[in-house]
Structure 1
Amino acid sequence: MSTILYPSPIVGPIHSRRLGISLGVNVNPSDGKICTFDCIYCEVGYNALRHTSSPRPSREHIASCLEAKLKEMKQAGSCLDVITFSGNGEPTGHPDFLGIVEDTIRLRNDYYPAAKVSVLTNSTLAHRPDVHRALMLVDNNIMKLDTIDPIYINKVDRPVSPAYDVEKIINEMQSFNGHCIVQTMFMKGTDDQGHDVDNTSDRFVTPWIETLRRIRPREVMIYTIDRETPATGLHKATHAELNEIRDRVAAEGIECIAAY
């Protein structure tokens, strides 16, 4: 299946299943991907096939482009629900991420004060003090946790660093004291080697919910495949499966939304 790369540094606005009318901020280059994960479901594609020959956009360039777009949208009377950091890889890897977030909040306050600022992060760099501070500043700190099973993580999320430790990630999520939203992809099918990647069963869901009790996030977002993926054997989780998982999370007293 084909995958896509996003322009940089501004994407959209687009309609997000989970967030509404979203203006994207892509702090990575437009001609490649820079990520600490290499997920088999990533719509941007595999890392090895997405090498970039360009530097990340500078903090100043991002702020200039974002202000120009917000001004244009405001003058046109366009609606905006959220400014979302996502794009071609992990946004928190930008060396000026904290400053970029501070600029974004300032511009949001100037042009669309009711809009939220969100970050979609795979959680791998949240231990860095500047990244942690940035994630505390945004409205929606959306942190990935597809499972707590290390074998599954290495098969599906495929962390680039061999030092990746899901227990450390969970501890870091706890350190936000509820200022985080856990985001989890549920899917079915097989990876490129024919291995089963269905994480909708009780074997995966029960320990994941037990971990949510530890993290106590403000909210949980569960979703399934919506766009084309580099691994061709993947399939959507069903509405019924997502609804059942959503209801189990809600029974723990944690708000949960499901995107189909």
Structure 2
Amino acid sequence: MATFLFDKIVFGPVKSRRLGVSLGINLLPTDCKLCSFNCIYCECGWNPKKTHKVDFHPRHLVKEKLEQKLNEMIKQGETPDVITFAGNGEPCMHPEFAGIIDDTIELRNAIFPKARIAVLSNSTMIHKPDVFAALNKVEDNILKLDGGKEQTIINLDQPVGTFNLEKTVDLLSKFRGNLTIQTLFIKGEYNGKSIDNTSQEEIDLWLQHLKKIRPREVMIYTISRDTPVETLQKVDLAELERIANLVEQAGFPTQISG
């Protein structure tokens, strides 16, 4: 199925189903996806099959483009609810990520002080002290946890390197509640394997992880755009509501995006 890439460093603003009026920042290349996961549901498609030299957008250019766009929005009478790091892969892979967060906070405070800053991350870079510290500075630190079982997450997210669920949960818990957990629920088949992270066993294990992590909020959602794998199925709203009720019973505010 058709997928797409973000062709600019700063894009939007767009109306986000989770965050409101969102001005996006893409720290990854504009000509390919670059991620530490290769999720089978990713709207940006697959990572390149062959490795090649990556030219990250330099920090000074990201700041320049963001400042330019924020000033344009003032002139046009637009106000962002949130400045969101997303784009063509994992934003925390950028070698200057921590400094870019500092620049963004500076610009936000000067131009749109009421806007939040959000990072949508797959949680694979939080072992790095500078990334961890930077994520603790933003209002919406949104980190992925796509299942209760390690193998389920591997099947869904296709890590480029190794993935250890126990270590990931431990690192997430170190934010001491200063994070939102984001989980995509999906069913289907891939490479001859059944894909389903909505079973009761899976949900029970996932809830156990949430109780260790203690996030301030949980976002649950399902696919809404084209994916690179055509055998995946959207989870219906009633199922998402069932899962959300279980999360609420566990004590965590929950947001559903159907």
Q: Secondary structure of the equivalent of 2:193?
A: coil
Mapped contact 2:148–2:203 kept (Cα < 8 A): no
Mapped contact 1:116–1:139 kept (Cα < 8 A): yes
Give the 3 Å change call, closer, same or farther, for CA 50–181 of structure 1 in structure 2. farther
1:37-79 CA deviation, whole Å, 9 max, x = no partner?
A: 0000000011135966651100000000000000000111112
Q: Percent identity?
A: 45
Residue number in structure 2 paired with 1:20? 20
Q: Secondary structure of the equivalent of 2:251?
A: coil
Q: Which of 218, 221, 225 is matched with 1:220 structurally?
A: 218
Give the 3 Å change call, closer, same or farther, for CA 54–161 of structure 1 in structure 2. closer
Q: After the TM superposition, which residues 1-260 of structure 1 pair with which residues of structure 2 at under 5 Å, given as runs? A: 1-48=1-48, 55-162=55-162, 164-191=163-190, 193-260=191-258
User: What is the CA-CA distance between 1:187 and the residue it aligns to?
Assistant: 0.9
Any gaps of 5 or more consecutive residues in structure 2? none
Mapped contact 1:33–1:51 kept (Cα < 8 A): no
Mapped contact 1:32–1:52 kept (Cα < 8 A): no
Mapped contact 1:39–1:158 kept (Cα < 8 A): yes
Q: Secondary structure of the equivalent of 2:2?
A: coil
Q: Secondary structure of the equivalent of 1:190?
A: strand
* In 2, Cα distance between equivalents of 1:110 and 1:130: 24
User: What is the CA-CA distance between 1:33 and the residue it aligns to?
Assistant: 1.5
User: What is the CA-CA distance between 1:11 and the residue it aligns to?
Assistant: 1.4
Normalising by the residue count of structure 2, what TM-score does the alignment of the two structures yield? 0.97
Q: Secondary structure of the equivalent of 1:159?
A: coil
In the comparison of the two structures, how many residue pairs are matched? 258
Q: Secondary structure of the equivalent of 1:172?
A: helix
Mapped contact 1:123–1:169 kept (Cα < 8 A): yes
User: What is the CA-CA distance between 1:199 and the residue it aligns to?
Assistant: 1.2
Any gaps of 5 or more consecutive residues in structure 1? none
- Which deviates the most, 53-62 or 24-33? 53-62
* In 2, Cα distance between equivalents of 1:76 and 1:98: 30
1:140-168 CA deviation, whole Å, 9 max, x = no partner?
A: 11000001312112211011113x21111
User: What is the CA-CA distance between 1:194 and the residue it aligns to?
Assistant: 3.2
Mapped contact 1:146–1:153 kept (Cα < 8 A): yes
User: What is the CA-CA distance between 1:210 and the residue it aligns to?
Assistant: 1.2
* In 2, Cα distance between equivalents of 1:11 and 1:76: 15
* In 1, Cα distance between equivalents of 2:126 and 2:8: 23
